[in-house]
């Protein structure tokens, strides 16, 4: 995604300027070529040397500095950029951009560039809520400037509320969507995609539950990939410690398997693609105690009953042209179990992985998977990041959609 992308990161004068160092570092590590521009106020919060070291490029500071080679710097940099990210974007810089002002190097580049612009505002909650600031943001969005809204929480000024700059990962996800548009790979445009992610929790009493080790990372990577490709994505998620990817058509949080079944099955008929990546509990307690169960002298014997088999129900109801993909987390007999599951549950293919292998278990950022088809055919992949696995899954899905047409 980022390899070779030419990105300008603009830093303005807010306390969140220190977070821009992490943003620049992550972009460079991912293979992007990054140039940094700092406003005079930004230099009060973080030094140019820090950004120069992280970007491995000279930092743009002064619009009237003498160039080492002949060029009009703000024009040359504006032409060079494929994307401009301003993080943090203060109310002052937002106002200047909204009114066409160019009184420093950053605002001059913003006025001159034809590249997409992404702003990550950061300011006091009352400044954020000020009608003038909101009007400026609306004006900028109307001409195509993208905004990553700030988060709510405790602010550096001591106030509580909305105004804290979005997390770096959230900014990167928003930027990735823009870069994906630049690539032009929008092969899910017009397609409705439903994805389940994470585990489920089956309550025993008000404080205890049965759960599994699923982190939701694979399902969230799939949702991110589907949005990038232009899909109208519905993500049904169990309890996870992940932020929803930007650009979703709908995000539904559930806890129990029955809640996930209801959310999925009610929306399934209208979907073109359904991916069951969630690790849904197979069983739930027959009875749930209304009060916390106290530890006594004897054992606590649980009586369990089966949960709905969501994938099997989807397979039985699968309409022509719909693509259904399931996941199988195995610890042995991967190929045999995967092929049997694909046939029995009516899936177009199963994404199987051996969770006992290093780097392929729950919670990891990588996965080593095999696509297993009902006829026993397989496609195996080496250890990849979960985002790369998601890309390969959708490559296969797009191929199947084309065959169905």
Which residues make up each annotated binding site for CTP?
282, 292, 308-311, 327, 341, 345
- Measured at the CA of 36, the angle between CA 31 and CA 41, to 5 degrees, comes to 150
Q: Which residues are catalytic?
A: 157
Note whether 273 and 231 are within 8 A (CB): yes
Give yes or no for a contact between 122 and 90, defined as CB atoms under 8 angstroms apart.
yes
Judge whether 159 and 203 are in contact, CB under 8 Å: no
Sequence-distant (≥ 6) Cβ neighbours of residue 126 within 8 angstroms: 159, 161
**Binding-site residue ranges:** 282, 292, 308-311, 327, 341, 345
Identify how many contiguous H helices and E strands the chain contains and give both numbers: 13, 21
Across-strand partners of 200? none
The encoded tokens of residue 15 equal: 């306390």
b/e per residue, 244-265, with b = 16+ CB within 10 A? bbbbbeeebebbbbbbbbbbbe
- 382: nearest Cα among 361, 366, 368: 368
Cα dihedral 288→294→299→303 (10° resolution):
0
Q: Do the beta carbons of residue 35 and residue 80 sit within 8 Å?
A: yes
């Amino acid at each position: 995604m980022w390899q070779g992308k030419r990105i300008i990161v603009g830093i303005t004068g807010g306390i969140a300027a220190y977070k821009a160092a992490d943003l620049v570092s992550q972009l460079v590590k991912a293979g992007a070529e990054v140039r940094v521009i700092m406003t005079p106020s930004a230099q009060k919060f973080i030094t140019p040397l820090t950004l120069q070291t992280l970007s491995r490029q000279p930092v743009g500071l002064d619009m009237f500095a003498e160039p080492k080679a002949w060029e009009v710097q703000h024009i040359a940099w504006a032409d060079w950029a494929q994307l401009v990210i301003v993080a943090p974007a203060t109310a002052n810089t937002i106002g200047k951009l909204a009114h066409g002002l160019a009184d420093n190097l950053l605002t001059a580049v913003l006025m001159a560039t034809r590249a997409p612009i992404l702003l990550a505002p950061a300011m006091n909650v009352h400044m954020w809520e000020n009608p003038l600031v909101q009007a400026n943001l609306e004006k900028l969005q109307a001409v195509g400037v993208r905004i990553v809204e700030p988060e709510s929480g405790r602010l550096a000024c001591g106030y509580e509320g909305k105004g804290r700059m979005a997390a770096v990962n959230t900014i990167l996800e928003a930027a990735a969507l823009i870069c994906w548009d630049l690539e032009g790979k929008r092969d899910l445009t017009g397609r409705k995609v439903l994805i389940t992610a994470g585990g489920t929790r089956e309550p025993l009493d008000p404080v205890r539950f049965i759960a599994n080790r699923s982190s939701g990372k694979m399902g969230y990577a799939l949702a991110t990939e589907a949005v990038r490709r232009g899909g109208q994505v519905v993500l049904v998620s169990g309890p996870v410690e992940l932020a929803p990817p930007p650009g979703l058509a709908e995000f539904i949080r559930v806890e129990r398997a029955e809640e996930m079944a209801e959310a999925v099955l009610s929306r399934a008929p209208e979907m073109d693609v359904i991916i069951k990546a969630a690790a849904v509990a197979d069983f739930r307690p027959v009875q749930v105690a209304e009060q916390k169960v106290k530890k006594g002298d004897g054992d606590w014997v649980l009586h369990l009953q089966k949960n709905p088999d969501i994938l099997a129900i989807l397979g039985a109801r699968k309409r022509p042209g719909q693509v259904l993909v399931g996941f199988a987390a195995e610890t042995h007999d991967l190929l045999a179990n995967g092929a049997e599951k694909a046939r029995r549950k009516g899936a177009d293919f199963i994404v199987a992985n051996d969770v006992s292998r290093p780097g392929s278990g729950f919670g990891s950022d990588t996965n080593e998977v095999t696509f297993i088809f009902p006829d026993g055919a397989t496609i195996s992949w080496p250890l990849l990041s979960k985002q790369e696995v998601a890309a390969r899954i959708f490559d296969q899905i797009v191929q199947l959609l084309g065959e169905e047409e």
